[in-house]
């Protein structure tokens, strides 16, 4: 996400961008974060950094997902407040909403029901970030905002076999199977859950739009308003990668939330819609993955 936002800002003509990779600045280190903000004194901040992962990673390491995300968010927001950052955009996740929220999920569904237990630690951290933004608005009157993206994909994603989200995990699995001439690919769950996917370049464009056009305490959903089943996305990725074998489903593994489709009415009425189609985005992402397979990120 951070890299995509950087690319979008450069295309928009911003020439005073300041950023650090996780290797250069550990946002879990409070002293380092405060030193960075004191030295750079940015006017605007997009907080895209997070510890993220799929069902396996979230379910296996809830302590790290809760602790590390809370530290990242608190450190950055506290440091930003100390130096008087005028505008901050906090990026969360659609997993903040209740597991059985009415579909499509509206922004006012927040805190109205139980979370999906396989990623509740991550969700709680992100909910805390939203409340942090709202608290700054109430106490200090600064126009800080939050946006909740649906499932993101695209260049620069985490393609770890154990720590990635569903779409990059499927891309890697089917690409490796296609290259090896394998007969079978096995995926987790039943394939019936429905998910919405947004290309990271569309999300970056939405971030710039929100910074220019939105000022309110409520988080804003960012997505396409359309979803597909995991089985359908797997079939599409199989076709794009050239895998000609069969797909099997390990139903002993969890499915996660049955459906997560965001209601994006608020953003559409403000004047923004996603432009990159799913098939188009998947083809571009598979090309990028194959061109960078030896150096792709594999965190988790």
Q: Are 222 and 262 in contact (CB under 8 A)?
A: yes
Backbone phi and psi for residue 176, each to the nearest 5 degrees, phi listed first: -65, -40
Q: Which of 122, 153, 174, 289 is catalytic?
A: 122
Q: 10 Å Cβ neighbour count for 30?
A: 15
Q: Are 141 and 130 in contact (CB under 8 A)?
A: no
Among 284, 95, 296, smallest CA distance to 202 is for 284
Cα gap 70→49, rounded to integer Å: 11
Q: Are 116 and 172 in contact (CB under 8 A)?
A: no
Helix or strand run (H / E) with residue 89: strand 87-91
Among 200, 7, 203, smallest CA distance to 89 is for 203
CA distances from 99 to 7, 94, 118, 252 (A): 34, 10, 10, 20
CA atoms within 13 A on the CB side of 47: 34
Q: Which parts are annotated binding residues for substrate?
A: 173, 188, 195, 255
Q: Which parts are annotated binding residues for NADP(+)?
A: 91-94, 126, 149-152, 165
Exposure b/e, 237-270, CB count within 10 A at least 16 = b: bbebbebeeebebeeeebbbbebbbbbbebbeee
Tokens of 58: 């979230």
Decide if 214 is catalytic. Answer: no
By annotation, the residues acting in catalysis are 122
């Amino acid at each position: 996400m951070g890299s995509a936002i950087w690319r979008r800002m450069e295309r928009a003509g911003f020439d005073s961008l300041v950023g650090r990779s996780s290797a250069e600045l550990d946002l879990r280190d409070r002293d380092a974060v405060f030193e960075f903000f004191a030295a750079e004194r940015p006017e605007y901040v997009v907080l895209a950094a997070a510890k993220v992962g799929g069902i396996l990673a979230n379910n296996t390491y809830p302590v790290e997902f809760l602790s590390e995300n809370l530290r990242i968010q608190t450190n950055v927001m506290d440091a930003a407040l100390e130096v008087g950052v005028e505008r901050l955009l906090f990026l969360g996740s659609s997993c903040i909403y209740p597991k059985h929220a009415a579909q499509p999920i509206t922004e006012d569904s927040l805190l109205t029901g139980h979370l999906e237990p396989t990623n509740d630690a991550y969700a709680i951290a992100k909910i805390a970030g939203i409340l942090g933004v709202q608290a700054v608005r109430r106490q200090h009157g600064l126009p800080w905002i939050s946006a909740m993206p649906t499932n993101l994909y695209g260049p620069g994603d985490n393609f770890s076999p154990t720590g990635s989200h569903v779409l990059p995990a499927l891309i890697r699995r089917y690409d490796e199977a296609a290259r090896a001439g394998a007969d079978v690919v096995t995926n987790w769950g039943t394939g019936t859950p429905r998910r919405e996917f947004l290309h990271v370049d569309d999300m970056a464009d939405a971030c710039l739009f929100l910074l220019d056009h939105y000022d309110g305490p409520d988080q804003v959903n960012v997505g396409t308003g359309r979803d597909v089943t995991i089985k359908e996305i797997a079939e599409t990725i199989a076709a794009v990668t050239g895998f000609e074998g069969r797909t099997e489903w390990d139903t002993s593994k969890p499915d996660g939330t049955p459906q997560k489709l965001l209601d994006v009415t608020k953003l559409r009425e403000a004047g923004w819609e996603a432009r990159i189609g799913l098939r188009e985005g998947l083809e571009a992402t598979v090309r990028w993955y194959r061109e960078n397979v030896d150096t792709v990120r594999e965190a988790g």
